[in-house]
Structure formats: structure tokens, C-alpha cells
Amino acid sequence: MVQQFKVLINGEWKDSSTGEKLDIVNPATGEIIGQAPKCSEIEVNEAVAAAAKAAPAWAGMPMSERSKLLLASSRLIMENIEELAKLETLEQGSPIRKTMNFDVPLCAEQLEYFAGTARAIKGETLPVGPWCLSSTVREPLGVVGLITPWNFPALMVIWKLGAALVTGNTCIVKPPSTAPLTTLKLGEIMMEAGIPAGVVNVITGPGSQVGEALVQHPDVAKIGFTGDTATGKRIMKLASDTVKQVGLELGGKNAFVVLEDADVDAAVEGAIFGGFFNSGQVCAAASRFYIHESVYDEFADKYVKAAKKLKYGDTMNMETVIGPVAYKAHRDTVESYIESAKKDGATLLLGGKRPTTKETKNGYFVAPTIFGDCNNNMKMMREEIFGPVVGLAKFKTNEEVVELVNDSPFGLSASVWTKNARLGITLANQIKAGTVWINEHLIIFCETPWGGCKESGWGKDLSTMVFDEYTKVKHIYVDLNEGPEKPWYGILK
């Protein structure tokens, strides 16, 4: 029997006014595992009204109390780790090994981080002069809309929701249509933790209807969005009508640079994780590799051998490390890039075919795929594939590789692999990206800011910088002079 889910509005679980449903499909098997309401503008309006009503009391609550509620939510997440991990695996396809050991624990950890660091937020006293007290305070924005992606359904919600809540905002979350179930469970957990009705609302439905209605609503002060660049551009246009703030964490086409003095074995290990973690469905995934010509053959050989060992198949098996991509249409898109690379003359070194084992034949699996002899003119080296497909290219000089890395419309992340720390830092300073790792790739901590430049968006998630995204600075000036006369009044006399 297919499990039925409802949306969360003003502390109540509701069906949609349309009566329509979204089928939630397990990408590992192609089977429908649940149904969620297909909401409309009616539910958007109800959720915004509930959030607006709850906003004054939530903003007026002491920071310490909001922090305690986030900590309570964190504890409940860990108490429900098995259910959350299973839901994420079933709806998104990430192996249970990953959701149990990475996604869900990190959700709890991030709420702990936001709860602790937010209590250190402070304003400033400005040294204008002895005749006044001039200071700044931080205030919540109000009602915030959060539109989250399908590649990390739970984690991406917590990245935004935790920071927005602890700073005093009320929220409407629009999770991905293909994978909304963990978000609904997180909403339930936060209600159980004691977060008041209307502070967290979760509505499900198509982005073209629910997402756009949320972006255009005049009572929504900000949209926090993680997703593809085309949708981000659409959100920018729609949000401009009400001049609302927009935070955009968009696509990436991330470079992985191996210099001639690099530890090749270490670089290969980093390339396995950077290229194939979450089946390559990571905005920061390494997808275009630039290998110095002197170590290219060694790197390519070792990389292919290591990738062959990756186990894909049953996502409920703790030994499985590679799951399917998230939905059928996306698998077809990824496979179109594989065919494009072949036509453009890239050399197929591994994969390139759809797995047809008993465990994979009904799911949306793409085997880890590696192409060699690539160049920056190829479509697969310029566009975000968002799957387990990578391309290797040679370079001769450091000056050349910096040009190759920066020859992209994206600027999310990159990595440089070298034993020369000075050289690594020098190249990192020349690369146009929000994050550059040296001898590492795809490592993101609560304490480190995350966000890119160019068509990878703007704004930051995580670190203390995220609190700037969900607060506004107000200046307060208090005159300390006695009497009505001020020195500058004489200008008009």
C-alpha cells in the first residue's frame, strides 16, 4: 500500500485544495513509495499568512530560547535517525550507508552549530561623537521562503532552515517534488520539539506553481534557493517585482587540478570521492579534471582502477556506495551527456553503459563513467552534468591551467593537488571560485562558508556568515545633547 503524506501549515497536517497528488518514486526500483499533496497558490497563501501571524512572537522570543528549540530538534533528529535515513534512501536513492552515517547525523550537527553560534550575534557601537549614541542591531527579515533541491533533501533544508529560524524568521519550505518526504518528517520533528505553529510550514508541489507563487508573494521578505542556474535566474526575475532579497546557491562545473608534483595516489582518492560521492549529484562535484601531462597516464590508470571497485546496486545494503540518480528524466539527461562526449571525440575509459544487473535493471542507475582526452570545447566539459560522469584533460603549464579553470560560466569550487603549499595557495588566489581546496575536494564543514560566484550564484550558507543572509541591520541614533539647539542647525539660519 502506498503511504499517504500531508503538508504542514500553521501546525496542522492538511491535504491540498486541488485534491491532486505527487507520486514519490524510489529511483533504485522505479516503484511508487508514497504520495504527497500537489499544492497550489491557495496553500502558499495559507502558509504565508500563518508565518506572518507567527512572526512577531517568534522574533520577540529570546535568542537563547530559539537556540534551545533547535537543540531539541537536533536531539529528536538523532532519535529518529533510522526513519529519516530510510526515507531519504527510498525517495532520493542515496545508499543507506550514506544517509545513516552522513546526511542525518550532519543535520543534527548543523542545528547544534546554528544554536550555539547564533547566540554570539551582536551589533556595533559607532564612534560618531560624544553628543550621541549611535549603534546597530540585527533584526530578522520576517517571512522567508526556502526552496530546496533533491540531491540532499534533508541536509539542504537544515542548511537554510536552521539559520533562518535561530535568527528569528518564520519559514515556508518548498521541498523538491521528487523527494519531499524527509522534509515533511523534519517539520514533524520540529513541531514535536516545541517550535510554535506557523513558524515552520512545509508545502509540496511543482516549482512552476508553488515555487513561483512563493517567490512572488508580497509578504515574503526573502527567498533562499539551492538548485540549477536556470531556475535561479527565473527566481531573480520574479523576485525583482517585489524587490525581495534572494540567496542563490546554483550550479557548478568544478575543476580538479593535479600538478606535476602532486601525490598521485592521494589525488586519485580525492577524485573518487569528489567525482562520485552521491552519484556525482553534488553542486561541488569534481567533473572536469586537468592533469599535468607528466602524470596524466599514471593518474588516469589509477583512477579507472579505483572507480571499478565502487559497488553500486541495492541501496538498502550497507556495502553499497553508489546509488541511482534521482529520477528517470535525469538519468536520460546524464546519458545524453555521455553520448555527446563520445561524439565530440572523448575517449571512454570506464562505464558509459546503463547497468543491467538484477539489482539495477529497474532503477535509474548510471555506472561511474570516466572520459579521457577531453578539452574545454566539449559540451560535457562546459555544462553541469550532475551525475557520475567526469572528463580528463592534459595541461602543460600552471598559467595554462588557470586559464582553463577560469574558462567557465560557473564559479562554485575547485581543487588544486600539489606538494608545494606556496604554489597551491598562489593558484588558489588566481582561480575564480567561492571555495578552492588544496589537496582535498568536496569537504564542507559547518564552520566554513559555502557559496559561489558568476553563474554559481551569490550569498553564503553555513559559517557565521549565513546569519548576514537572514538578518537586516538597523541603525539606531540617540541624541545625548541637552537643549533643542544642535551645531548643524545653524546651516539653515
- Residue 405: strand, helix, or coil: helix
Q: Nearest CA to 209 among 492, 17, 458, 3?
A: 17
* Max Cα–Cα distance, the chain, nearest Å: 90
Cell of 384: 553541469
In the set 88, 212, 249, 335, the catalytic residue is: 249
Q: Nearest CA to 248 among 9, 93, 458?
A: 458
In the set 283, 384, 446, 455, the catalytic residue is: 283
**Separation of alpha carbons 308 and 300, rounded Å:** 12
Cell of 386: 550532475
Q: Residue 303 region, left (φ>0) first, then alpha (ψ -120 to 50), else beta?
A: alpha
**Separation of alpha carbons 1 and 5, rounded Å:** 13
DSSP letter (8 states) at residue 227: S
Is 249 a known active-site residue? yes
**Separation of alpha carbons 421 and 228, rounded Å:** 34
**Beta pairing, strands 286-292 & 254-258:** parallel
Report residue 158: phi and psi, to 5°: -65, -40
DSSP letter (8 states) at residue 253: -
At 108, which amino acid appears? A
In a 13 Å sphere around the CA of 240, the CA atoms on its Cβ side amount to 6
At 20, which amino acid appears? E
91 C-beta neighbours (distance < 10 Å), count: 26
Beta strands in 273-333, from DSSP E residues, in sequence order: 286-292
**Beta pairing, strands 410-411 & 389-395:** unpaired
Interior angle at CA 158, CA 157 and CA 161, nearest 5: 80
Q: CA distances (Å), 175 to each of 36, 161, 202, 371, 425, in order?
A: 11, 12, 8, 34, 38
User: Could you give the residue ranges of the DSSP H alpha helices within 310-463?
Assistant: 328-343, 398-406, 421-430
Q: CA distances (Å), 407 to each of 323, 376, 431, 452, in order?
A: 31, 8, 10, 15
Provide the Cα torsion 90, 96, 98, 104; round to 10°.
Answer: 70
Is 455 a known active-site residue? no
**Beta pairing, strands 21-26 & 31-37:** antiparallel
**Separation of alpha carbons 351 and 275, rounded Å:** 14
List 145's β-bridge partners, or say none.
172, 223
Active site residues: 249, 283
